[in-house]
Structure 1
Amino acid sequence: MDLELVNRTAVVTGSARGLGAATARRLAQEGANLVVTDIDGEGAERTAAELRNLGHRAVGVRADITSGPDVDRLVAVAAAEFGGPHILVNNAGFPRDSLLVKMTDADWDTVIEVILKGTFLVTRAVMPHLIAGGWGRVVNISSRSYLGNPGQANYSSAKAGVLGLTRALAAEQGRHGITVNAVAPGFMETEAVRALDHYERIREKAVAAQPLRRTGQPADIADAVAFLASERASFITGETLHVTGGRFG
């Protein structure tokens, strides 16, 4: 299936590794130009270099998405290098788990700042380019955790907020030919997850709770994002695609 992404420019936040890097690779395979960005600048450049070595057009940019000046610089690079952006994937984020009574202000603030405020800042900076072009795709990476996970009040709240933002922007920007959707991953087998001391226990618990009895892979998310970023999804907006192996609760 031709997703018609050739020469589109995609910005993928948090794409030095994991789900973001897999998404960058998948979009590049479809012919998109990639702006690989992460607070880990060396990691972003490694991923971009890997794409360039495969014949794709890519640039790595270090950016703190909670910083307005960093975000403005990131979008300026995308415009200068490739004449975009056209596609934005808001992927950056991380958990900082704790029961509520033990959760610090920093635990709460950092997770909300990166996941929710970062998504707001980058989307706000990219949106004028999408409006000017009369075409755009925003894909926000939420999580099944938006339904509520014990020990993740901060993360669940941030990911639920991303879905509210998704619906609001879909209603606001559709008249400009821009779709805004979200992907909600379930348990995903990334390098970071495999490095956890209790990985085997949480993997077994997650798989047992799913109708599809396997772990999710980064490619599962990358394929979902690529579809939502494409012309094939041009009449879909404000939706949340659950990539969870059938697990919702």
Structure 2
Amino acid sequence: MPHFVLVTGGSSGIGKAIIERLSAEGFHTLNLDRQAPRQLSLNEQHFPIDLLDTGALEHALDRLSQEYEILRVVNNAGMVKPALLESTSISDVREVAKLNIEAPILIMQQFLPAMKARKFGRVVNISSRAALGKEKRTAYAASKAGLLGMTRTWALEFAGSGITVNAIGPGPIATELFTAVNPPDAPQTQRILDAIPVKRLGEPAEVAHAACFFLDDRAGFVTGQVLYVCGGMTVGLGNAA
């Protein structure tokens, strides 16, 4: 029986890199993204779904749970609404939380019974280094920090069922999303590069490599952890004091 992995936001950026790596590893991937990928990877199926539409998401998840045995999930889809606190609207906070927090909850509630029945599951939540704090990221940082809290909580709740739940906190990664809010020629982008100990942006494939470790059958003794793929920036925070 094929091993299926559900990946949200898998049509571009980090999500696409994760699907490409999983495909290379022999997995079948189910990509939930409102936009289609430029090209499907081997054994990838795309399901056009707006994760902000709760009714549509619940309907899609119900159908997928009936058609596939999904024991691995990557909650990757995310949204950034950059703004200083004074300009952060409550509607933006709610929209970001709907995608970054509510969607993963609905997804896990749908597929948890199958994982418990098989006494096996692998869940990877893509958080962000911004969860540690970043200017103009009130809504985003709050949601990604919340995702880390959920990761640890779920790890404890599901540990006895053979289900691991871990998170990845990417630092600056060269994706379309990063470039959209950090133009290459902008002064703040150069400041970001200067602050990265390895002196370059990360590549989506490097995050995918970390995700595949957590998704592996052999990673059953690792749960509730956060791995920062950040070029050393998180270590630098510890030395700043």
With structure 2 as the length reference, what TM-score do the two structures score? 0.90
CA drift of 1:195 comes to 4.5
In structure 2, stretches of 5+ residues that fail to align are none
Name 2:7's counterpart in structure 1. 12
Q: Give deviations 1:24-77, integer Å, cap 9, x for gaps.
A: 11111111111011122xx15x44xx21xxxx3221112233444333333344
The CA distance in 1 between the partners of 2:233 and 2:121, in whole Å, is: 30
Structure 1 residues 1-249: aligned runs within 5 Å: 7-40=2-35, 43-44=36-37, 46-47=38-39, 50-51=40-41, 56-81=42-67, 83-196=68-181, 198-200=183-185, 201-248=187-234, 249=237
The CA distance in 2 between the partners of 1:10 and 1:127, in whole Å, is: 14
**Identical aligned residues as a percent:** 32
4+ aligned runs moved over 4 Å, structure 1? none
Q: Give deviations 1:133-165, integer Å, cap 9, x for gaps.
A: 211101000000001112111100000000000
CA drift of 1:242 comes to 0.5
Equivalent residue letter for 2:2 = N
The CA distance in 2 between the partners of 1:215 and 1:228, in whole Å, is: 22
Residues 35 and 68 of structure 1, relative CA distance in 2, 3 Å threshold: same
The CA distance in 1 between the partners of 2:119 and 2:229, in whole Å, is: 29
The CA distance in 1 between the partners of 2:76 and 2:90, in whole Å, is: 23
**3-state SS, counterpart of residue 233 of structure 2:** coil
**3-state SS, counterpart of residue 199 of structure 1:** coil
Q: Once superposed, what is the RMSD of the aligned Cα atoms?
A: 1.8
**3-state SS, counterpart of residue 159 of structure 1:** helix
CA contact (8 A) 1:11 1:78 kept: no
CA drift of 1:115 comes to 0.4
Residues 133 and 162 of structure 1, relative CA distance in 2, 3 Å threshold: same
Q: Give deviations 1:186-245, integer Å, cap 9, x for gaps.
A: 001012333457333344222211221111011011111011000232110000000000
The CA distance in 2 between the partners of 1:70 and 1:149, in whole Å, is: 33
The CA distance in 1 between the partners of 2:144 and 2:179, in whole Å, is: 22
The CA distance in 2 between the partners of 1:78 and 1:69, in whole Å, is: 14
With structure 1 as the length reference, what TM-score do the two structures score? 0.87
In structure 1, stretches of 5+ residues that fail to align are 1-5
- The number of residue pairs the alignment matches comes to 234
